[in-house]
Structure 1
Amino acid sequence: MKIDVYTHWWPKKAAQKLLEVTRQGVDPVATKYLEKRESKTAVNDLDLRFRFMDRHPDVLHVLTISNPPVEMFAGPENAHEISRMANDELTELVATYPDRFIGAVAILPMNDIELALEECDRAISELGMRGVRLFTTIDGETLDSERLRPLYQKMCDYDLPIWLHPTEPPEVPVGQEALLGWEYETSKAMVTIASSWIFDEFPDLKIITHHLGSMIPTFEQRIRWMHPERKT
């Protein structure tokens, strides 16, 4: 048996709620972005998903939610509600098809850290989810932010990983982000985490990155050469 630890699924009810919230705003780019997620793919259609999985019967999937971040388009209360809906739907899917899905990863309303910590506890302790997903930036905030330390400590206490997913660099037009933007964002986030010595502060922290580490394997020696010394 093999386990694909980073497969995507967008729960239908949560996606519809996020689209409704977004349409109440005035950002046509955001609405267009979410409407793209309504097209029928293996990310939101079980029949297509299972047909693909049937070609690889020895592989189980861990379900994670891809872009967009709920906090990008929804305020804290709506983001909290949508996160709960999504996590409930993912958990139900895993329970319904245990021969297909071995676990799911929670999303959190990261525009309110207290609500995020609350949902983290519920998702892991009550729903049995396998970890949480963070984006490479949170409304422009990088992952070395002091605000995120309580979440890092909580994940160490649970001994569960954070799944790291790229989001769009703000200067990249919608439609071009997946070409190079995501790889740059992932690489930059990984260097930010390493350069801020977060793993010294939280030695038990586990992070799973997307896209095979993006640019980091290629630039490994350059990073070692240019990496800043720790300030004491």
Structure 2
Amino acid sequence: MTHDAPSDEENRHTVKIDAFCHIMPRPYYDRFFELDVAVHAANLRKRVSNIPSLVDMDVRFAQMDEFGDYRQIINIAAPPVEDLGSPAISKEMARIGNESMAALVRDHPDRFAGFMACVPMDDPDAAVAELDHATGELGAYGAQIYTHVNGRAMDDERFEAFYERMAASGGLLQVHPCRSSAWSDYPTEPRSRYEIWWTFGWEYDLSAFMARIVFSGVLERHPDLKLLIHHGGSMVPHFAGRVGPGWDQLGARTPEDQKEDVEGYPLTKRPIEYFKQMYVDTAMFGAANAVRCSIDFYGVDHVLFGSDSPYDPERGPGYIRSTIKNLREVGLTEAEQDTIFQGNVTRLLGLTAEA
């Protein structure tokens, strides 16, 4: 069943809280451009320098005005702080980022509903300390992490204390993909070509992260951990048959001499049920069919409006506009739309819908 799309005026008065947006506050941006960084981070530096709304709030706010009653929950844009140098640099950059985002939220509550902490995961003890500082002192509603730390899988036992503290905090843990052209498409090649590392590689990264978190028992041990997976849960809802009945046969395809590869933490539920515990955003870049698939798999109560702004071709408003349009055209009731636009995030984080 479809519903008539609301008018532009109705759209402007709909409360919308964008749960996954990127930013580089001026102090962070300036320090980022001072650092001597590796090739991948240098390439991203070139990219962010061409997106004014990441750092120029006048540009950003002018773009946001198009969407009426619209606010953002912000996080620090890629690259991860772990890619910027030593653990000491990671700690420095995380602190600059968190204090700068807290200032933006404090100074512009009508624009920013909150922020997610930047945490230096190359030093897990420091990550816990920064999480405590950002949530306890600065008012962060959770944190953002990436799908690996310098190639290290995120189910490594050294991150256990961070997940424990994150679950106890009650906040959201945003998960963002991370891969560069150095991750080749085939073992015989030195680099990925045609930006396959981004288009498909980032989605594989997210999906692999989710699977490792499930089978390593992170969600079994920490059932209160609220993971917000970027890009609609990535590959998982689109391959629900493989994730469901396929993984119910875990081990059936594995040779006897590789059995240790499928012997994870003992789980008490089907694998697919742990995937469904996660929350996802709607950042599908205007692909309404993909948004609908994510909603069908996770359910309305586990989907949060998120745009991935400002990485669209317009460098700011494009993905916000297309994501709002998607949610208006995929057959949701007005109540379901409202749940995704603001109900879920306000419920999960204890926000109020008004600034």
State TM-score, norm by structure 1.
0.91
> Equivalents in 2 of 1:175, 1:8: separation in Å?
25
Which residue of structure 2 aligns with residue 153 of structure 1?
164
1:195 counterpart letter in structure 2: F
- Compute the displacement of 1:109 (Å): 1.1
User: Alpha carbons of 1:18 and 1:146: their partners in 2 closer, same or farther (altered >3 Å)?
Assistant: same
Which residue of structure 2 aligns with residue 196 of structure 1?
216
User: Alpha carbons of 1:127 and 1:174: their partners in 2 closer, same or farther (altered >3 Å)?
Assistant: farther
Which residue of structure 1 aligns with residue 241 of structure 2?
221
**3-state SS of paired residue (1:37):** helix
> Equivalents in 2 of 1:122, 1:29: separation in Å?
29
User: Alpha carbons of 1:162 and 1:231: their partners in 2 closer, same or farther (altered >3 Å)?
Assistant: closer
1:20-31 alignment to 2 at 5 Å? 20-23=34-37, 27-31=38-42
Contact 1:108 1:116 in 2 (8 A): yes
Contact 1:18 1:70 in 2 (8 A): no
Residue 14 in structure 1 maps to residue 34 in structure 2: no
1:80-159 alignment to 2 at 5 Å? 80-159=91-170
- Compute the displacement of 1:221 (Å): 1.4
> Equivalents in 1 of 2:57, 2:200: separation in Å?
29
Contact 1:43 1:49 in 2 (8 A): yes
> Equivalents in 1 of 2:40, 2:156: separation in Å?
28
> Equivalents in 2 of 1:156, 1:132: separation in Å?
11
User: Alpha carbons of 1:71 and 1:174: their partners in 2 closer, same or farther (altered >3 Å)?
Assistant: farther
Gaps of 5+ in 1: none
Residue 171 in structure 1 maps to residue 183 in structure 2: yes
**3-state SS of paired residue (1:133):** strand
**3-state SS of paired residue (1:17):** helix
Which residue of structure 2 aligns with residue 184 of structure 1?
204
- Compute the displacement of 1:163 (Å): 0.5
Contact 1:19 1:35 in 2 (8 A): no
* 1:39-89 residue CA offsets vs partner (Å, 9 max, x unmatched): 233222222221221111122110012210111122111111111001011
Selected match of 1:34 from 21, 26, 45: 45
Contact 2:21 2:74 in 1 (8 A): yes
Gaps of 5+ in 2: 1-14, 185-191, 252-263, 267-355
**3-state SS of paired residue (1:203):** coil
**3-state SS of paired residue (1:185):** helix
- Compute the displacement of 1:174 (Å): 9.2
User: Alpha carbons of 1:174 and 1:155: their partners in 2 closer, same or farther (altered >3 Å)?
Assistant: farther
Selected match of 1:78 from 57, 72, 89: 89
Q: How many residues align?
A: 229
* Greater CA drift, 177-186 or 5-14: 177-186
- Compute the displacement of 1:168 (Å): 0.8
> Equivalents in 1 of 2:133, 2:169: separation in Å?
12
* Greater CA drift, 87-96 or 5-14: 5-14
- Paired-residue identity, %: 31
Which residue of structure 1 aligns with residue 226 of structure 2?
206
